[in-house]
Each structure stands twice: as structure tokens, then as C-alpha cells.
Amino acid sequence: MIPTSWFLVLGAILFSLGVLGVLTRRNGITIFMSIELMVNAVNLTFIAYARELGSLHGLMWVFFIMAVAAAEAAVGLAIFIALYRHRETIDVDEANLMHW
């Protein structure tokens, strides 16, 4: 049986890669995919702890996170389509209308 902490470390690495993408990239779609990466790292952590504790409630969280991520992807991509129609780009630095 593989130790739980190894899965936690894998989740931490994937989450950090997602953080790196959100902080450094400017392509909106790529930033969005980095967010999905972070969501999946959290899911892995939830399932690792669910096995460690012998509880199914962690898996329920993963189920609801997946549903919320699907809703988030649909609305977020619709926002990018609307942004592209207005600005002809999805570079997030260009979307600065509400910037101070």
C-alpha cells in the first residue's frame, strides 16, 4: 500500500504548477486550464485522505467539486467568448476596463 503522503506531495506539486500558470501566463484559456489543474490536485488530496480515514465523505466532496468545476468551465469559457467578441483577444492584460 503506497503511503498517503506520497499522494499528498504529488497533489502539492500539481497545485504549485497550477499556481505558476495562473501567476505567469497571460493567455486566458491557459490560465483557466491551470485552475483546472489546481482543482484536480485538490481532488487527489481529498481522495488520498478519504482512503487514509476510511471515509466516503471525501469522495462526496470530489463529486461536488467536479460538478462545480463543470459549471465554472461553462460560464468561464462563455465569458472568454464574449471577451473575444469585444476585444479580439483573450490576453488578460488587455481586459483592463475595470483596472484602477
Cα–Cα dist 71/91, whole Å = 22
Closer residue to another protein in complex, CB, 17/95: 17
Site pattern 52..91 for another protein (x: CB under 8 A): xxx-xx-xx-xxx-xxxxxxxxxx-xxxxxx-xxx---xx
Considering only residues 17 to 46 of the shown chain, the ones binding another protein according to CB under 8 A are 17-21, 23-27, 29-30, 32-34, 36-37, 40, 43-44
Write out the three cell numbers for 23: 501567476
Cα–Cα dist 29/2, whole Å = 35
3-class state of residue 57 by DSSP: helix
| Number of chain residues interacting with another protein (CB under 8 A) | 71
